[in-house]
Amino acid sequence: MIGADLIVLATVLSASPAVQEPMLEHPVQLTSSDRFVKAGESYFSDDGRRVIFQAVEQPPKGTPPDEHYAMFVADVLRDEAGRVYGLGTSRRISPEGSANTCGWFYPGRSDRVLFATTTAPPSQGDAPGYQRESGSYEWQFPREMDIVAVDLDKADGTAAAFEPLVSDGENYLAEGSISPDGRHLLYTSLATGDGDLYVKDLVTGTSRCIVSAPGYDGGPFFSPDGRRITYRSDRNQDDLLQIFISELAFDDDGAITGVEREFQLTDNGHVNWCPFWTADGRHLVYATSEIGHHNYEIFMIDAQAGDGTSPTRYGTGARRVTHASAFDGLPAFSSDGSTMIWTSKRSGEDGSQLWVSEFDPHAAASASPPRPPGEGSGHP
């Protein structure tokens, strides 16, 4: 329902011997099954005032829920100390019946977003582009999905104010984010039949493929300084996913021309996905099946590019962030790195919901020794 108020929640995860998460302080549940069948993949605006997320609303009694995610924005509520305790006014900004994913705020703005949408109900019968053998872990890739931008003061739950950023018509385009300087759109395309990474120069309008290795490469994000990208890949085509970082190449005008070097940070028998940078660009957080395919957890790993005064550390020092006996994934941070938002089923509800917590990466130093270099070590 457009313009409805989201019920403010402040469900704090109680401390207990079974749940010790030293990096997380005061976890709070932001959405619940009172309003949403499921909600997930949320990101903050740079000023921390709003979040964007995808969700399926609870339908009227006797009506089945929507098959696809809608896109929502919501105001963030904070206490006097600046801690997030809930969400205020929320609204759907995607058209009814459409499939939507991968929302993102424009750099420095809380009033303009981009996301991937089919605009209208997508075609039926498309096979998932990635799925595990059980079929219970899969992503749908509608061929009509394109990436659009919209100013929130014009977003009315229809496509009237949408501005196309990249479109194809026949192939899935999604998983978009924008460089910190606002110049480049980074996204995934299935135009070749494989998931490849592209950048579009929003100044010149030029698009180019920068990662085209075999297998699906997706979920890319720029580092905080805009010089590197991280993403996950199934290029081994072994029913698993691994985490990668690429250092970017630029021309004299500051346009991205390609990749200088690529590093593989994980190389193991697990599904590792949804990597996201810490605010200082020295680490990544990501979800992994290392604990089990029925209990994905969030880990942190080194992602430090050497600068002459400090060594390069890619793929070392893995530490576990979440410790709940349920799915935790899709982590992201506020621009200052003090708050982590993620998707979880730790509340025991049937569907995933949004959670948030203050984040202290140094709190794990004494509580959770890093894994020694080994199977998780990064390599070119």
d(CA 372, CA 380): 19
Degrees (nearest 5) of the Cα angle 207, 211, 212? 100
B/e letters for 14-28, b = 16+ CB within 10 Å, e = fewer, are eeeeeeebbbbeebb
Q: What is the pLDDT of residues 160-196, one digit of tens each?
A: 999 999 999 899 999 999 999 999 999 999 999 889 9
Q: What is the pLDDT of residues 11-57, one digit of tens each?
A: 444 333 356 899 999 999 999 999 999 999 999 999 999 999 999 99
Would you state the pLDDT for residue 11? Answer: 41
Residue 208 corresponds to which tokens in the numbers above? 């180019």
Q: What is the pLDDT of residues 256-293, one digit of tens each?
A: 999 999 999 999 999 999 999 999 999 999 999 999 88
Would you state the pLDDT for residue 176? Answer: 98
Q: Find the mean pLDDT for residues 128-139.
A: 48
Domain range list for the chain? 1-12+23-130+138-152+334-360
pLDDT confidence of 370, banded at 50, 70, 90? low
Question: Regarding predicted confidence, which is higher, 85 or 375?
Answer: 85
Question: Regarding predicted confidence, which is higher, 322 or 368?
Answer: 322
pLDDT confidence of 310, banded at 50, 70, 90? confident
* 233 has a pLDDT exceeding 60: yes
* 3 has a pLDDT exceeding 90: no
Strands 339-344 and 353-359 come out as antiparallel
Would you state the pLDDT for residue 2? Answer: 37
Closest CA to 317 of 269, 264, 372, 355: 372
Q: Find the mean pLDDT for residues 322-341.
A: 97
* 68 has a pLDDT exceeding 50: yes
Would you state the pLDDT for residue 4? Answer: 35
* 308 has a pLDDT exceeding 50: yes
Would you state the pLDDT for residue 239? Answer: 82
Would you state the pLDDT for residue 19? Answer: 64
Among the residue ranges 11-15, 123-127, 245-249, 278-282, the one predicted with the least confidence is 11-15
Percent of the chain exceeding pLDDT 90 equals 79
pLDDT confidence of 312, banded at 50, 70, 90? confident
* 10 has a pLDDT exceeding 70: no
* 380 has a pLDDT exceeding 70: no
pLDDT confidence of 306, banded at 50, 70, 90? confident
Within its chain, how far is the Cα of 37 from the centroid?
A: 19
Under 8 Å between Cβ of 143 and 172: yes
Under 8 Å between Cβ of 353 and 38: yes
Mean pLDDT of all residues belonging to the chain: 89
